[in-house]
Amino acid sequence: MADALDAARLAFPLGHCGNVAVGGYLLGGGLGWNSGQWGIACHAIESADVVMADGSLIRVSELENPEIFWALRGAGPAFFGIVTRYRLRLQPSPRAITEAAWVYPIARVAEATRWMQACAAVMPVNVELSMAMAAAPERFYRDVVRAGYRGAYLRTLAAGVAAGEIELESLRIAAPDELADEEVAERLLTLPGVGPYAAAHVMMLLGRHSRLILDSWSRPKWATVNGRKASDATIERRFRRYGPYAGLAFWLRLTEDWA
């Protein structure tokens, strides 16, 4: 459903996990993607066709059989009918979705929890927060976080931070004149599963924008923006004049049509 809607530049607050069936999800309330802004999924049901216990097929909505419509939205498995069709209110698809992951040692779980609670009280409605513990098995990162083959690397990284074997905090707090971008990149590249592409992303999250994010999306996107293809070396040379903000300048140029 998400793929079909995305092709039409539409969206719906579907479940966070791809294996959540829509029918039961809507009956149960439906707390999904961007629910903070769009509301829970069952409130986007405009009408439904329901087979009742006597075999009759009825339509329920705010105007037709409103009592049954009220019961349908949130009753879950206790609902007394069989829904054969939903009509849903859709939303325009977001122009972009950004995500960030921060890893802390297990000793800082209380501090991280307090920070999340403080953020939740003031953050915009279209921002979501979630927390995962380093002790989660690899399948958690693969199937729930949906990191695919990166799941093993994430677990190794999280476990290393929790055990004190990997120290990342200094990369966040060090100023560029104390720790050069080259050294930050070098340290990141020693981590399991981190290559130049991932290192550039992490550095941008750290407020260091000298590295260009070059991948299978940004290269063809640059070709479209620039009017022709270019090698990585040519692209980097083009943005070298922006110095420590070369990566940010590149990213803003790629995404200027998002605004």
Show pLDDT as tens, one digit a residue, over the chain (259 residues): 888 888 889 988 888 777 678 888 888 888 888 888 888 889 999 999 999 999 999 999 999 999 999 989 888 878 889 999 999 999 998 877 777 777 777 677 788 888 888 988 898 888 887 776 656 677 777 777 677 887 888 778 877 877 777 777 788 788 888 889 999 999 899 888 888 888 888 888 788 889 998 988 899 999 999 999 999 999 999 999 999 989 989 988 998 887 5
Domains of the chain, each with CATH number or no CATH: 2-92 (3.30.465.10), 96-167 (no CATH), 195-259 (no CATH)
- Give the residue carrying structure tokens 């690899």: 138
